[in-house]
Amino acid sequence: MEEKLSKVAQSLKPSPIQELSHLAQRCNAINLAEGFPDFPTPSEFKQAAISAINSDFNQYRHVQGICDHLAKDIKQRHGLHVNPLTDIAICCGQSEAFAAAVFATINPGDEVLLFEPVYETYEACITMAGGIPVYVKLDPPHWTLDLDRFLKSFTVRTKAVVLNSPHNPTGKVFTADELDAIAEACCKMDCLAITDEVYEHITYDMDKYVSLASLPGMQQRTIITSSLSKTFCVTGWRIGWAVASAPIASAIRNIHVKLTDSAPAPFQEAALTALISPPEYFETLRKDYKEKRDYIVRILLGVGLQIHFVPQGSFFVFAELPENCPLSDMEFVAELIKKAGVAAVPGCTFFRTKLSHKELSQSGQDYQKRYIRFAFCKSSATLSSAEQKMADIVDSEGYLQLY
C-alpha cells in the first residue's frame, strides 16, 4: 500500500538515529541523547495538574488566563504590547504552534530560510505546507552568521525566516548584531520571522534574553512560538503558544482548532500555576542548568572531546570529535553506546545540506560529520554515571578507547 501514501508521507523517512536509539535501548545505555529531563517535575506543578483533573477540567477548553499572563510577561520582558484576546493562540506545545504558524502563512513555492545546523521538525512542517526550506549555514566553531551569505539567500519567493535562539543543537544565542541584521533583512525584504523560543529562560552568562520581535519594525512581522515544555520540566504536557499580529494569530487559532480542537484542558489549568512562578524559580532554573553545563563540559573535555563553543543557552552541548579521530559521528556514537554505555545524538542529523567542494577544501574536513550532541537536562546521578562509564574506557592519553 506504500503507493497510496502522499508524497509528503513518502518523503518523511525514519532518521538513522532511530537505529541508534534501538541500539541504546538494547545496551541499556545512559540517555544523554534526548532533550527532556529525567528528574522530577516540581511537585507544585504536578499537584496543580492533579487538582485540575479532580476539579473536572477534563473537557475541551480554552484557558484565557494563559494569554492574559503571557501578554503581561511579554510586556514586562520585551516591552511589547500584545492583546491577550486577539494576539495569542494556545496550542499543543511549540511543535503544534510552529506547524500552525507555517500552515497559516506559507503557500506552495514560498521559500523559508532556516539556519543550519537546524532542529529537525521545521523542515517537515514547511514541506507539508508545500514550502521550500532554504538553508543558511552557520560557521563553526562558534556557529556565526555570515551576513553576506544570509543576504544572498533571499529571493523574491522568500516568505519567512525561522530563528531558533537559544539554539538546538549548538546552545548558541544569536548576538545583538546578528539579531539586528536578521531584523533589518526581514524589514527590507518584507518577510515574516517565525521564532522558536522554547529555551528563552535557559540562558547563561548574559544579562537579558532579547526576542527578535522586540527589534524595530519586527513585532508586526514576527510570530513568536514557545511553550511550557523546557522551562517548567513538562515536555509531556503539550502546552505551547504562538504570539502574532491579530490576523495571523486568528489564522493559527483556526488551524489549531481544526487540528486538535484544544490543548489538554487540565494541563492548561495547571499552566497557570507554572507561569506565575516567582523570579526565584527562573533564577534557580538557570543556576542549576549552568552547573550541569559546566559539569558536562568538564566530563567531555576530560575524555578527549573538543568543545570550542561553550553553550550560552538551551541544555545541549555540541562537542567535536577528538582531532585525530578517524570515526564519523555516527560511528563514534554507535561505539560510545556499545563500549561505554552512553547514548548521544550524531551531529549529522542537524545538517541538511552537503558542503561544496570549495567548502570542503577550505575546512580540510567534512565538519558536518564531526559533531555529537549531548543533552545535559539530566539528574546529577545520571551525569555522574555517564562520567564514570566513559572514564572506565579512557586510555593513558586521555581519549575514549573507541577506535
Ligand X SMILES: Cc1ncc(COP(=O)(O)O)c(C=O)c1O
How many angstroms separate the CA atoms of 233 and 45, rounded? Answer: 9
**Min separation Cβ 71 and ligand X, Å:** 19
Residues whose CB is less than 8 angstroms from the CB of residue 281 and which lie 6 or more positions away in sequence, other chains included: 42
**Min separation Cβ 374 and ligand X, Å:** 14
Q: Are 141 and 306 in contact (CB under 8 A)?
A: no
Q: Which is nearer to ligand X, 31 or 168 (CB)?
A: 168
Q: Which is nearer to ligand X, 227 or 312 (CB)?
A: 227
Contacts to ligand X by CB under 6 A = 35, 93-95, 119, 164, 168, 196, 198, 227, 229, 235, 240
How many angstroms separate the CA atoms of 253 and 101, rounded? Answer: 9
Residue nearest to ligand X (CB): 93
Q: Which is nearer to ligand X, 164 or 211 (CB)?
A: 164
- Residue environment code for 133-170, b if the CB has 16+ CB neighbours within 10 A, otherwise e: bbbbbbebeebebeeeebeebbeeebbbbbbbbbbbbb
Q: What number of CA atoms fall less than 13 Å from residue 221's CA on the CB side? A: 22
Return the closest-CA partner of residue 32 out of 276, 372, 402, 401. Answer: 372
Q: Which is nearer to ligand X, 240 or 304 (CB)?
A: 240
**Min separation Cβ 35 and ligand X, Å:** 4
**Min separation Cβ 158 and ligand X, Å:** 22
Q: Which is nearer to ligand X, 95 or 312 (CB)?
A: 95
How many angstroms separate the CA atoms of 334 and 20, rounded? Answer: 7
Q: Are 172 and 165 in contact (CB under 8 A)?
A: yes
**Min separation Cβ 70 and ligand X, Å:** 14
**Min separation Cβ 231 and ligand X, Å:** 10
Return the closest-CA partner of residue 289 out of 203, 227, 229, 209. Answer: 203
Q: Which is nearer to ligand X, 90 or 325 (CB)?
A: 90
115: which strand partners? Answer: 136
**Min separation Cβ 360 and ligand X, Å:** 28
Q: Which is nearer to ligand X, 95 or 304 (CB)?
A: 95
**Min separation Cβ 197 and ligand X, Å:** 9
Q: Which is nearer to ligand X, 158 or 227 (CB)?
A: 227
Q: Cβ–Cβ contacts within 10 Å for residue 257, how many? A: 14
- DSSP E strand stretches across 65-191: 88-91, 111-116, 132-139, 144-145, 158-164
Return the closest-CA partner of residue 32 out of 346, 259, 281, 283. Answer: 346
**Min separation Cβ 349 and ligand X, Å:** 12
**Min separation Cβ 260 and ligand X, Å:** 12
Q: Which is nearer to ligand X, 286 or 339 (CB)?
A: 286
How many angstroms separate the CA atoms of 358 and 55, rounded? Answer: 63
Q: Which is nearer to ligand X, 268 or 390 (CB)?
A: 268
Return the closest-CA partner of residue 90 out of 259, 232, 258, 252. Answer: 252
How many angstroms separate the CA atoms of 266 and 285, rounded? Answer: 24
